[in-house]
């Protein structure tokens, strides 16, 4: 049997962690998956219905209606979480499943979750 190639870069390591998370986390129409992607400068989040394979809505820190709730990138992320929750409530979505996408739950990823919770999304 051939050995499985071990991940060598941090991107490969994150992708493997993301697959581990995705085994357990799936979104439905009633309770979509809140998926977060973090780049060096920006952060993005979207609500995904995995049953149909459809993105219901998405927000980035540069989208219209996103205002920073604090200083720096963490403040932008928290404001983005609040904007995402407002859009979700307008679309009739109140409960979500959080997908941290292989990132540690701290910093900007946590700020998105906190902002969404404060604005009324239930995890």
Q: Catalogue all structural domains in the chain, each as residue range(s) with its CATH number.
A: 32-118 (3.30.420.100)
Beta-carbon contacts of 20 under 8 Å, excluding residues fewer than 6 positions away, are 102
- Model pTM greater than 0.85? yes
- Condensed to tens digits (0 to 9), the pLDDT of residues 20-72 reads 999 999 999 899 999 999 999 999 999 999 999 999 999 999 998 899 988 99
- Condensed to tens digits (0 to 9), the pLDDT of residues 103-116 reads 999 999 999 999 99
Closest by Cα among 55, 50, 105 to 84: 55
């Amino acid at each position: 049997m051939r050995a499985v190639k071990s991940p060598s870069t941090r991107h490969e390591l994150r992708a493997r962690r993301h697959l581990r998370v995705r085994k357990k986390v799936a979104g439905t129409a009633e309770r979509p998956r809140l998926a977060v992607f973090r780049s060096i400068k920006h952060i993005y989040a979207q609500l995904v219905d995995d049953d149909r394979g459809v993105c219901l809505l998405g927000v980035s820190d540069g989208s219209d209606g996103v205002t920073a709730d604090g200083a720096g990138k963490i403040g932008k992320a928290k404001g983005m979480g609040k904007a995402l929750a407002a859009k979700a409530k307008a679309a009739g979505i109140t409960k979500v499943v959080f997908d941290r996408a292989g990132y540690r739950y701290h910093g900007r990823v946590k700020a998105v979750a906190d902002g969404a919770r404060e604005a009324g999304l239930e995890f």
